[in-house]
Amino acid sequence: RQLRLEKQLKGSDIAAALGLTQSSYSKLERGETELKVAHVVKLAELLGTTPAALMGLADGEGDGSGERAARLE
């Protein structure tokens, strides 16, 4: 969510781009459901990052994912 807000994107815009309802996208942001791999790739493109950074597996561009990845090691 934080990265989306930094990019000044609305949840409804992301939902539409992913072909999801606003409700479904909101659940994804809250961690209530998991994102399909195809959606991870598209979401990363929309947010200007990589799928790995989005999932906290690599150092991203100011999205805090590097810190999360470091805690996993």
Cβ atoms < 10 Å from Cβ of 35: 19
What's the maximum distance between 2 C-alpha atoms anywhere in the chain? 35
pLDDT at position 72, please?
36
Cβ atoms < 10 Å from Cβ of 37: 9
Distance CA 17, CA 22 (A): 11
For 40, the token pair is 């991870």
Confidence of residue 68 (pLDDT cuts 50, 70, 90): very low
pTM for this prediction: 0.65
Query: What integer is the mean pLDDT of 12-41?
Result: 91
